[in-house]
């Protein structure tokens, strides 16, 4: 009888903990992002942070000493699954991994940063990210991480649950109208480290486009198609390149991570 009573008490404790976790997630106020996840409503809007030694860029949402970091593309072209994350990997601005204490098969990692904060992240690999129809593919990796001090553990539990449950980072966390040639038409420039314009992609409303170096009279002509948030560029020789379009930021991201910003 005593064993049965202890078993029932354990079941009640588990059910109570699960209910509290669900309530915590439901009670937190969230706001949408341009991606397939939400952030706490009191966090800042996303700011892009470029980490040059990676090289990769991240979008960081933060509140005081907590940071939520999203990186859609690790490395110039690809990232070896064994190479990230490891001690020394950068998760966000001023957030470098000191050690990893937990790793699950679903791509979840947890541990501590060099400044003593806790991190919880999920990494996902994206095979066939580059022109599989051309006979080759490159496996890209991306991650979503929350970094916070131990004193904010209970507050961050709903964020951890969100990261753990997420199946895909890409897409949008809010409803949006489908992209059209008219809605994406415009001039998009990339910038160098000093903020100077480098490359320019001009998308026209008739499905044609051009690429050139800013200031140059020489340009390349191509056509493009739209599927979801992907802009597929097709050159005269038949080669194709997929760009990811962010309707909220009005940017294009190339397979190697270059960001092209819409020019007003």
Secondary structure (3-state) at 181: helix
Is residue 77's pLDDT more than 70?
A: no
Is residue 54's pLDDT more than 70?
A: no
CB count, 10 Å around CB of 66? Answer: 19
- Across 197-219, average pLDDT: 88
- For tokens 């994350």, the residue is 85
CA angle at residue 155 from 149 to 161, to 5 degrees? 100
- Give the chain's mean pLDDT: 78
- The rounded Cα 123 to chain-centroid distance in angstroms is 10
Is residue 128's pLDDT more than 50?
A: no
What was the pLDDT predicted at 186? 92
What was the pLDDT predicted at 179? 81
Weakest-pLDDT range from 61-75, 155-169, 184-198, 204-218: 184-198
What was the pLDDT predicted at 59? 87
Is residue 131's pLDDT more than 80?
A: no
CATH topology of domain 181-262: Lipocalin (2.40.128)
Most confident of 75-89, 111-125, 135-149: 111-125
Question: Residue 100: which pLDDT band, with cuts at 50, 70 and 90?
Answer: very high
What was the pLDDT predicted at 227? 83
Weakest-pLDDT range from 108-122, 129-143, 159-173, 186-200: 129-143
Pairing of strands 108-113, 95-103: antiparallel
What was the pLDDT predicted at 6? 41
| C-alpha–C-alpha distance, residues 147 and 71, integer Å | 14
Is residue 258's pLDDT more than 90?
A: no
What was the pLDDT predicted at 224? 93
Which contiguous run of DSSP H or E holds residue 63?
Answer: strand 56-63
Question: Residue 49: which pLDDT band, with cuts at 50, 70 and 90?
Answer: confident
User: What are the Cα distances from residue 171, in Å, to 33, 151, 197, 230, 238?
Assistant: 10, 32, 28, 10, 27
**What ranges do the domains of the chain cover?**
32-165, 181-262
């Amino acid at each position: 009888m005593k064993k049965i009573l202890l078993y029932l008490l354990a079941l009640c404790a588990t059910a109570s903990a699960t209910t509290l976790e669900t309530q915590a997630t439901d009670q937190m106020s969230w706001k949408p992002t341009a991606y397939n996840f939400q952030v706490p409503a009191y966090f800042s809007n996303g700011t892009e942070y470029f980490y040059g030694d990676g090289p990769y860029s991240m979008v960081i949402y933060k509140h005081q000493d907590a940071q939520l970091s999203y990186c859609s593309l690790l490395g110039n072209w690809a990232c070896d699954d064994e190479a990230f994350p490891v001690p020394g990997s950068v998760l966000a601005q001023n957030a470098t991994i000191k050690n990893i204490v937990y790793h699950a098969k679903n791509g979840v990692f947890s541990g501590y940063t060099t400044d003593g904060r806790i991190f919880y992240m999920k990494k996902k690999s994206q095979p066939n990210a580059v022109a599989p129809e051309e006979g080759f593919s490159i496996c890209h990796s991306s991650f979503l991480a929350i970094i916070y001090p131990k004193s904010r553990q209970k507050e961050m539990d709903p964020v951890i649950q969100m990261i753990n449950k997420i199946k895909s980072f890409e897409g949008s966390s809010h409803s949006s109208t489908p992209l059209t040639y008219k809605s994406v038409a415009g001039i998009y420039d990339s910038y160098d480290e000093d903020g100077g314009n480098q490359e320019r992609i001009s998308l026209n409303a008739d499905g044609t486009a051009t690429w050139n170096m800013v200031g140059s009279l020489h340009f390349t002509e191509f056509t493009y198609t739209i599927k979801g948030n992907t802009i597929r560029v097709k050159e005269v020789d038949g080669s194709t390149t997929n760009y990811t379009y962010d309707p909220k930021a009005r940017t294009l991201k190339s397979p190697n991570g270059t960001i092209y910003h819409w020019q007003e």
